[in-house]
Structure 1
Amino acid sequence: MNRQALVGAFVLGGTGLLVAAFVLFGNFHPFARTTKAVLVFHGASSGLAVGSPVTFRGVQVGAVDRVVIEYNPVTKDAYIPVYVTMRPDDIILTNSSHRLPNLEELIRQGLRGEMNLKSFVTGTSEIDLDFSPSTPAVFHPDIAHVTEIPTRQSTIAAMTQSLQDLPLKQIGENADATLASVRQLSDKLDKDLPALIQSIRETSDHSRDMVDATRKAITDFEPAITRTLLSVDRLANAGTSQLDARGRELHAVLQSSNEAVQQATKSLANLENMTSPRSADRTNLEASLRDIAAAASALRGFATDVEHNPQLLLTGRRQ
């Protein structure tokens, strides 16, 4: 009898310790206030299982209760509702005068959930909650029978989707075509490059010979070019001296020409004054011309008389 009581006490104590450990270290809190919710994902949920943590910015606020698959045979589409239990008592308000908003109010304020990888080693996942008012709230009333927390695509899921959307087959084909082109180019270079190198080498040798010949010609012509430049310099100096000397003579000629022009201008002015109708010189000249004309007329008459009577030269004209 004592042995049975001892065994019963031992079993009862072990059960109590097991319940205490489950309450302290597990997610079972029989005396805590809890809130049920569901998150509907449209994609893979690898690593997510019952008991996976539900966190808000890294702080655990609940756990996953159930993960199911909702399949629509008409559309042949599958959704994964994840039922969670959250403990609002773990949230403490800064101002105790305000009441704690319920889950519906938090959802209206922008509460969203996403599934992220918890550990790369174990491959386990977790549900992360955060506020994202810019993310549209998409609900599934036909699937969710409790309060639904809208979901958003995680960064890892977006990267995975981007990698899945990459045209890997086309990229591989393009890479193969590129490698084939590179191989053809390499083969062509292997075939044509030696001849090209030989041609470049011959061209280089020819260019070197031309440079050497040019250098030798320049060296040979350098004395002649120097003498020519000295002759040109002397010619330029002589030309400069001649121009200086002829410049002085040309200046004297121009000055004399200027004086002659001035004298001619004065003579023309005097001639203009003499030929003017009101000029006294012109009046005297006209009178002298009239007198000369009268004398010529008298002389002509005397010549006529002498022609008729030559004795007039001896006797003279009688009055």
Structure 2
Amino acid sequence: MSKQANPLAIGLFLTGALTLLTMGVMIFGGGDYFKDKNRFVIFFDSALNGLNVGAPVKLQGVQIGNVSEISLVMETDTDRIYKPVVIEIDPALLRNTSGEESHGHTKKQQQEAAQRMIEAGLKARLETQSLLTGLLYVDLNFYSDKPINLVKLDYKNLPELPSVPTTVDEIRNTADEIINRAKQLPVEETLKNLSDTLTEIRNLLQSDNTKQSMTALAKSLQETQKLMATLNRQTEPLLSNANGALTDTRATLRDFNRELLPVLRAAEQSLTAATQVLQESRHTLNAVETLADADAPLNQALLEVRNASRSLKDLAEGLERQPQALIYGK
């Protein structure tokens, strides 16, 4: 007869097996259960089809965390539905320039870190992991040219990161905006005006006045062609005569140049001689001016001659009055 199994031993065995299994999962699972992670919340306006819990969170293509929670929140005042997505970021994967882990485990540190990243332009966007599966992941990147849109809804007291629409949503929004603007255009009125304009043009073309004008225009064109032909026939002799006149004028100018060249050379020689005569005349005038100067010897000699002449004149007048003075003296 077989021995009955002890329930206590079985229970202890199962408990020990479960404990070992749990420890193995925690140890070989990378120790994620013992790591402190920074948690943030993101509110997406886009549909979350394909985004699952555990989806990767990447910063410029490098995975730094995963999605830990996806929820729906309805605001009772406005009946608006929000879709908060909670992400967990492993601070061990974010290091500074010294290679040290970034610290930010406390609530205040996480809020300060989130504010710094927001000011630097960090925003979240949903991207496709695979076109075949349609799965999404959260891509963090810096979009400084896009506005900061924060819901500012306190969700589990977590710091919020802004989001931007997906590329598909941006294309869809742009297309919707174009369609809305096109709908606002007065298309029916424009088409009606165009139809009326085409009708008036057709009536104008089919009118008798237009037909008469077209006939007159055709006649005018024919007469213009005849006139142009006549002008062409008459212009050719005129052009030939003008060409001959130009040839004669060119020959006359050539002969004139040949005859004018000796005259110009003679005039140049005459000018040269006149220039030399002027220079010699200038030297002569300078010499005359020098002789006519008050201090010049010639001027002094002339003064002495004048004085001597005056003395001789006085002597002659005295002798004329008293001739005996020449014998007896004065």
State TM-score, norm by structure 2. Answer: 0.46
TM-score (norm 1): 0.48
